[in-house]
Amino acid sequence: MTPALELRGLCKRFGGIAVTQDVSLTVQPGERRLIIGPNGAGKTTLFSQIAGEIGCDAGSIHLFGQDVTRQPVRRRAHLGVSRTYQVITLFGRDTLLHNVVLGILGVSGRRFEPLRALASERELHEEAMRVLESVGLAARAQARASEISYGEQRRVEIAVALAQKPRLLLLDEPLAGLSRDERAIVRDLVAAIPRETTIVMIEHDMDMALAFAERIALLHHGQLVVEGDRETVVADPRTQEVYLEG
């Protein structure tokens, strides 16, 4: 089976600081993979390398069997990579509906057809409404993103990512800053994503994350320290040392 994601010896330095160091990782199609590690471990930088937002000093990235190491963000998006961010990236003055429509257009050839018939615009809005319905926010479609709660903004960001019909979804701390009730909503939302989408998630809410993950990778100082199933990684003394050190 061709992996959804394969990293081979990935390295990135900022000046004298090594942020990712010889990271090799394989994620199979449909897998739910968790990446953990203390703050500053290099997790978000790793996501940015996978998405193409940050280049690599060494190593390679393969998506669905294709070497994309030197490919731009847009090429990886068209291969099916979508992501969320630690910091909300919505257009606050725009409606939830418009934010999701923009997500759809980001990977659609329709963005190059400004004079396309109004019927196509209706199709876009209908598709965006279906996505908002899937995250429980269809009733708020016309609200501005800046007017809704932080927890709802998190769900809209996931909706924008899902609107691109990703084959590989990168979730960067989707539960950060949420209340217990909001975490439960997002947890159920992520759990309902079909297996056609492979998910790699960074998360510090360990109860939710461990319930989600089938395999876990622990990063520390940019290095892959432990990798395996939940029981193996949690029980490994190196995992305990890293978190005790933090």
Tell me which residue range forms the domain holding 187: 1-80+166-246
Distance of CA 18 to the CA centre of its chain: 23
Tens of pLDDT, residues 178-218? 999 999 999 999 999 999 999 999 988 777 778 888 999 99
User: What's the total number of domains in the chain?
Assistant: 2
Looking at every residue in the chain, the average pLDDT score rounds to 91
**pLDDT tens for each residue of 47-70:** 999 999 999 999 999 999 999 999
Of 163, 181, 197, at which residue does a domain stop?
A: 163
Cβ contact 115:121 at 8 Å: no
Q: Tell me which of 130, 163, 196 is where a domain ends.
A: 163
Q: What is the mean pLDDT of residues 36-47?
A: 93
- Domain match, 70 and 95 both: no
Same domain, 76 and 192: yes
Clarify whether residues 120 and 242 are in a common domain.
no
Q: In what order do the strands lie in the sheet with 223-229?
A: 81-83, 168-172, 198-202, 32-36, 215-220, 223-229
